[in-house]
Amino acid sequence: MITRREFLAVSSASLLVRAVGPGVEQRSGRPWYETMRRCGQLNLNERDPLSLDVRSWIDYWASLKLDALLLNGGGIVAFYPTDVPFHRRSEFLGSRDLFGELAAATKARGMRLVARMDCNYAYADALGAHPEWFERNRDGSPRPHGESPWLYKTCMFSPYFTEQMPAIYREIGARYPVDGFFTNGWPSTGDLTVCHCVNCQRVYRDVVGATPPDQTDATSAAYRKYYDVYMRRVLDVWRGWQAVVTEKRPDSVYVGNLGGGIRTVKNVKQLGEVARWFNADHQGRAGDTAIWDCAQQGRVARPVMRGRTITNVTGAYSNSRVTWRHVAKASAETTMWMAQTAASGMVPWFHWLGGAPEDTRWKETGQAFFAWLAAHEAHFRNTRSIADIAVLYPQRTIAFYRSGTRPRDWRGADRAQTADYLQGLYYALLEGRFLFDFVHEDDLDAQTLRPYRALLVPNAAYLSDGHCRRIRAYVAAGGSLLATFETSRYDEWGDVRPDFALADLFGASVAGDVAGPTGNSYMRIAGRHPVLVGFEGTSLLPGPEMRVPIRRSGADAPVDAPLTLVPYYPAFPPEMVFPRTPETREPVAIFRSAGRSRVAYFAGDIDRTFWRSGNTDLSALLQDAVRWVRGDDSPSVSLEGDGIVEAFAWETESGYALHILNYTNPNMTRGFFRRFYPIGPQRADVAVAAGRRIGSVRLLRAGRDVRFEQAGNRVRFTVPSVTDYEVAVLV
Ligand SMILES: [Zn+2]
């Protein structure tokens, strides 16, 4: 084990190394984890103490120029000779102190060390001695792990979280030079757990007043109360652990495990208020998940962390709908996941499982990307986004919404469907090459929204009166709005309102129950409007599957309703396929202008229907509506060229950076990327601060400068081609 004297010597040596690095002046005084840009993790298994070659592993991780390395401390299994009762030593530890060896070697190479812990399971001996530590089913039985049934699930409301885990943190903190602690699998952003242990029964009786339902169900009064109690417990445990790990080391940190991409139930805004570091355990995609899943994770986490560190894990192993822990996934897929992490403003965390890999192909993939990242570190220190469109992240709707398509026996929200509205809008924004940010629904104040010309709201059906008041204030101050379907129809828990809370903004009121789902209905182009200029050659557009019947309501501003309903008629057999009511006066979209504000409201779920159908007209209609609400002035950034890309534009500590991710690939929405398909010239036009003279535009992946023109605050240049990812930096 490393002595305290050695530890101090190593620490001050690494401080000296750091002190000569770039940009240290601005960053001095900030804790280490706020400025790290590269992170790695070797996830040990219980057998690893038999054979782990510490030196070669630390050589590998040092070659990635890591700021921080995560290594297993304990929790389920201790990788050091622990003295904490019921903290199980690895069966194969023998006389070895593997964590101690790794800790010394990590620090000797100037890397920060984070102890990777697991608070979620313990062994049968602990269950026998401390039955109150464990989750229980209704019948009182403990909950064994699905694949490793000799482990039992611990309960967050029990003293395991407030006594046992802190005892382990204190032991590790006292013995080893750790800079932080990370817990695998907790708290996550997914559904709440409902447990029936003695602690939880007490909470249900004394605080909630009832036993909550087993599944997410915001129609239940008990669930609503339990949600708040549960969030409070998560935040209390998080704060408590942060306090424990900083008892001796003020710059130490506790980091929990979040992630979940756009499908979150637990309130990420509240989690962001206690998290000093947000880790997204969002390691890869499966089945038909779209490639942009990782970039979306960055968009969800960034607004709640406001510049503080967000890491995103890249599983180098093959995690997909079928998981193989010990073979690498395709290098192109791994690279694109890390590229999305960096482009969206997160810090890559490269992850491998097991200390004796027979597949080592992943090593070079990580090395190549991290070396490139390290060489250009200054350009990844973002200070602000320069996007001018905001997308409301409708967390409560995604978590709780019961859409009209639910089957009769359906319980709880189906997040495979409640995220479809956002997903459809997102795809249209990528096709239209818009630059945008997410904003969290609980953070819609004037300061947050001021940089944006328009707020896009993909069916935020569940909004509180407060949410609606802030959206109204934004529009009154000159902001524009696009909203779809049932936005504001319900309160924050899903209780239906007599009308949209935002009826005054939409210029539309509810005129009946939600209709659908039906195919083969249409929107008739009944008038002229700038949103519809791209649709010459047709007077019909595909109709959404679901719609709220609406009537115009008493808006004082001019209202355009150039799209009207053509109701459903049979699609089969062909003899029967003719409209029974070819024309109606029922509007399906309302476009309004008031001063500088423009408001576009679509009564149908055109975003979700686009996502389900892939229909190009629906995407074009969404894009045209976004262009119209954004207004006639040039966007802050534009990017033209062939291919489907996702772009981010940041002001950085050294200038500006335009990130272009090339998604043009047959595997964009299904299966791993196998290789990249380069795209041709991309013409960029970027607004910089008034008076700022740009001296060069450099492409960090291509490794060369390109010609540019600056006229006033606009900088124009062409990126000749993009293979996987390009970052154009303007300094
Ligand atoms: Zn419990």
Whole-number pLDDT of residue 25: 39
Q: For residue 495, is pLDDT > 70?
A: yes
How far, in Å, CA of 438 to CA of 417, rounded? 19
- 219, two tokens: 């129609």
Say whether pTM exceeds 0.85. yes
Question: What is the DSSP annotation of 558-620?
Answer: -EEEEEEEE-----SSGGG-S-SS-----EEEEEEEETTEEEEEESB-HHHHHHHH--HHHHH
Per-residue pLDDT of 368-397, as tens digits, reads 999 999 999 999 999 999 999 999 999 999
What's the CA-to-centroid distance between 415 and ligand 1, angstroms?
25
Q: What is the DSSP letter of 690?
A: T
Q: Which amino acid is at 702?
A: A
What's the CA-to-centroid distance between 266 and ligand 1, angstroms?
18
Whole-number pLDDT of residue 26: 42
What's the CA-to-centroid distance between 234 and ligand 1, angstroms?
13
What's the CA-to-centroid distance between 665 and ligand 1, angstroms?
46
Task: Compute CA distances 68 → 36, 566, 603, whole Å.
Answer: 7, 59, 49
Q: Which residues contact 119 (CB under 8 A, 6 or more apart)?
A: 75, 154, 160, 161, 165, 183, 184, 185, 186
Whole-number pLDDT of residue 557: 59
Mean pLDDT of 572-580: 97
- Binned at pLDDT 50, 70 and 90, residue 560 comes out as confident
Q: For residue 357, is pLDDT > 80?
A: yes
What's the CA-to-centroid distance between 173 and ligand 1, angstroms?
28
Per-residue pLDDT of 185-225, as tens digits, reads 999 999 999 999 999 999 999 999 999 999 999 999 999 99
What's the CA-to-centroid distance between 226 and ligand 1, angstroms?
13
What's the CA-to-centroid distance between 44 and ligand 1, angstroms?
29
Comparison of pLDDT for 644 and 415, the residue scoring more = 644
What's the CA-to-centroid distance between 158 and ligand 1, angstroms?
6
What's the CA-to-centroid distance between 202 and ligand 1, angstroms?
9
What's the CA-to-centroid distance between 187 and ligand 1, angstroms?
14
What's the CA-to-centroid distance between 194 and ligand 1, angstroms?
7
Whole-number pLDDT of residue 402: 81
- 334, two tokens: 């791994």
Point out which residues pair with 457 in neighbouring strands: 483
Mean pLDDT of 546-566: 85
- Binned at pLDDT 50, 70 and 90, residue 14 comes out as very low
User: Residue for token digits 């509506």?
Assistant: 625
What's the CA-to-centroid distance between 247 and ligand 1, angstroms?
28
Mean pLDDT of 330-344: 98
Rounded to the nearest 5 percent, the helix, strand and coil shares of the chain are 30, 25, 45
What's the CA-to-centroid distance between 203 and ligand 1, angstroms?
9
Comparison of pLDDT for 132 and 14, the residue scoring more = 132
- Binned at pLDDT 50, 70 and 90, residue 561 comes out as confident
What's the CA-to-centroid distance between 210 and ligand 1, angstroms?
14
What's the CA-to-centroid distance between 666 and ligand 1, angstroms?
46
What's the CA-to-centroid distance between 623 and ligand 1, angstroms?
48
What's the CA-to-centroid distance between 230 and ligand 1, angstroms?
11
What's the CA-to-centroid distance between 500 and ligand 1, angstroms?
39
- Binned at pLDDT 50, 70 and 90, residue 97 comes out as very high
Exposure string for 627-660, b = 16+ CB within 10 A, e = fewer: bbbbbeeebbbbbebebbbbbbbbbbbbbbbbbb
Q: For residue 27, is pLDDT > 80?
A: no
Could you give the count of Cα atoms lying within 13 Å of 440 in the half-sphere of its Cβ? 20
What's the CA-to-centroid distance between 168 and ligand 1, angstroms?
21
Task: Compute CA distances 382 → 94, 301, 370, 658, whole Å.
Answer: 47, 15, 18, 11
How crowded is residue 551: how many other Cβ atoms within 10 Å of its Cβ?
A: 13
CA 103: distance to chain centroid? 31
What's the CA-to-centroid distance between 398 and ligand 1, angstroms?
26
What's the CA-to-centroid distance between 200 and ligand 1, angstroms?
4
What's the CA-to-centroid distance between 170 and ligand 1, angstroms?
24
What's the CA-to-centroid distance between 354 and ligand 1, angstroms?
32
For residues 165 and 239, the answer to whether their CB atoms sit within 8 Å is: no
Q: For residue 572, is pLDDT > 50?
A: yes
Q: For residue 5, is pLDDT > 60?
A: no
What's the CA-to-centroid distance between 135 and ligand 1, angstroms?
5
Q: For residue 442, is pLDDT > 90?
A: yes
What's the CA-to-centroid distance between 151 and ligand 1, angstroms?
16
Q: Is 3 exposed, middle or buried (0-12, 13-18, 19+ CB in 10 A)?
A: exposed
What's the CA-to-centroid distance between 136 and ligand 1, angstroms?
6
What's the CA-to-centroid distance between 244 and ligand 1, angstroms?
23
What's the CA-to-centroid distance between 216 and ligand 1, angstroms?
17
What's the CA-to-centroid distance between 57 and ligand 1, angstroms?
39
What's the CA-to-centroid distance between 678 and ligand 1, angstroms?
52
What's the CA-to-centroid distance between 461 and ligand 1, angstroms?
32
Cis, peptide link before residue 573, omega less than 30° from 0:
yes
What's the CA-to-centroid distance between 122 and ligand 1, angstroms?
14
What's the CA-to-centroid distance between 143 and ligand 1, angstroms?
11
Rg from Cα positions in the chain = 27
Q: Which residues contact 260 (CB under 8 A, 6 or more apart)?
A: 188, 189, 190, 280, 282, 297
Mean pLDDT of 139-151: 98
- Binned at pLDDT 50, 70 and 90, residue 94 comes out as very high
Q: What percent of the chain has pLDDT over 90?
A: 92
What's the CA-to-centroid distance between 137 and ligand 1, angstroms?
9
What's the CA-to-centroid distance between 197 and ligand 1, angstroms?
4
- 177, two tokens: 């030079």
What's the CA-to-centroid distance between 211 and ligand 1, angstroms?
12
Q: What percent of the chain has pLDDT over 70?
A: 94
What's the CA-to-centroid distance between 147 and ligand 1, angstroms?
21
What's the CA-to-centroid distance between 155 and ligand 1, angstroms?
5
How far, in Å, CA of 403 to CA of 485, rounded? 11
How far, in Å, CA of 661 to CA of 676, rounded? 11
What's the CA-to-centroid distance between 75 and ligand 1, angstroms?
18
How far, in Å, CA of 74 to CA of 99, rounded? 9
What's the CA-to-centroid distance between 201 and ligand 1, angstroms?
7
Q: For residue 349, is pLDDT > 50?
A: yes
What's the CA-to-centroid distance between 157 and ligand 1, angstroms?
5
Whole-number pLDDT of residue 712: 97
What's the CA-to-centroid distance between 164 and ligand 1, angstroms?
15
Quick one: which of 117, 277, 241, 135 has its CA closest to 185? 117
Per-residue pLDDT of 635-674, as tens digits, reads 999 999 999 999 999 999 999 999 999 999 999 999 999 9
| Helix-helix angle 420-431:606-613, to 10 degrees | 80
What's the CA-to-centroid distance between 218 and ligand 1, angstroms?
21
Whole-number pLDDT of residue 320: 86
Whole-number pLDDT of residue 321: 87
What's the CA-to-centroid distance between 236 and ligand 1, angstroms?
16
Per-residue pLDDT of 154-186, as tens digits, reads 999 999 999 999 999 999 999 999 999 999 999
